[in-house]
Amino acid sequence: MRMGRMHAAGEGKNRRDNIARRNRRKGYTVRPKKVFHEANATRAEARSYGSDWLERLALQGGREAAAGKSESERSCNHMQQSFNSWYLEHAAGTQRKYSPTLRISTAFAHGYAAGDSLLCHYIPLPLRRTTAAVVVASNERGTLNAVLAQLMRLPFGEIVVVLNGCSDGSFTAMEHDPRLIKLNYPERLGHDVGRALGAAVTAKDTVLFVDGDMALPAEDLGAFLVAIEQGSDVALNDITPFLPSFMKQDSVTYSKMFLNMSLGRTDLLANSLTAVPHALSRRAIDALGHASLTVPPKAHALALVRGLTVTAPYSVNVVKNNRIRSTNTGPANSVAGLILGDHIEALAEVMEIYGPRLKFTRMTRSELAKVRNRR
């Protein structure tokens, strides 16, 4: 049995030697064997377990950050600060997509929390800018606390809640948190006025906007904060994967696509500031002004016109999860009419800058006739 194995091993070695000689004769280069130095021992060990080495380092980094800290000393703020320091040392310099960034963050949090049920749900993110969230609610007592619970899992310095004509006790139903700023308006304001008011209250560098009727996972919301951190001024929700085919889309979707097309951004398709969640940088808020946010399509158009960096980095399905109301259903509902009117206002605004042709380069009939008559 042993002789048979030795004979097979000898044949295998001879075969490899023959292949190597043939490759050298034909001028093929021989790939050198990988050599792992001592400095790469941790990475090599991580790869041997079949998982991403940076996630393994993050897990260990979280444990080290919490080591020696008492239960009272460990907190979400300390986790966020520790993660920022760790990320700067081990993972900075490469602009990663959000998914691997989230996996690294989750690994660090699990290492830091060490079984603490509250801390292990927190999501630290590689953020150097200060952040705030603006929540607009109108009689959303049933969902508002769930929305806030997800926001509190993220490193926000402030969470501004604008209660727009609430009569269901939403103000008193909200759980207490030192980061909460409540703006209560007993009389109903305009449809998007709450966003402008919330943006005016906070001075943070990055502001995320959500509605109080949809509790979206913190894992999804973090993508918009990271997009602003990586250089976007306006980070839109990419709703394209959730829309029906072109022939089945509604007039609101067509108006969004036409506005983007008119301003030379066909890549944005039907993505717009009309849909939440989205995030704005401080540069964008200052350039557009708080008041422009009361008409989201107008703010969207001005962002494109003024050269702000507008992206749609992540998709969250708000089409399916949108709360059904009498005002937003049916072919001629009032919300659709409002949004269409907002797009007309946006087009009128940018026509004052670009002229009636906007970004369309084809000549009008009268211009074409003048060119032909010169021949």
Q: Strand ranges (DSSP E) for the chain?
A: 131-137, 158-164, 180-185, 206-211, 234-237, 278-281, 310-314
CATH of domain 131-354: 3.90.550.10
pLDDT at 139 over 50: yes
**CA distances from residue 39 to 57, 151, 275, 304 in whole angstroms, order as listed:** 13, 39, 48, 47
Q: Where in the chain are the domains?
A: 46-121, 131-354
| Gap between the terminal Cα atoms of the chain | 96
pLDDT of residue 115: 75
Per residue in 232-280, pLDDT (tens digit) is: 999 999 999 999 999 999 999 999 999 999 999 999 999 999 999 999 9
pLDDT digit string, tens, across residues 78-133:
999 999 999 999 998 888 999 999 999 999 999 999 878 779 999 999 999 999 99
Residue-averaged pLDDT of the chain: 85
Residue with tokens 């097309």: 261
Give me the mean pLDDT over the 336-340 stretch.
89
44 pLDDT band, cuts 50/70/90, is very low
Note the pLDDT of residue 32: 45
> What pLDDT digit, counting tens, does each position of 65-80 carry?
999 999 889 999 999 9
- Span 180-192, mean pLDDT? 90
pLDDT greater than 60 at residue 165? yes
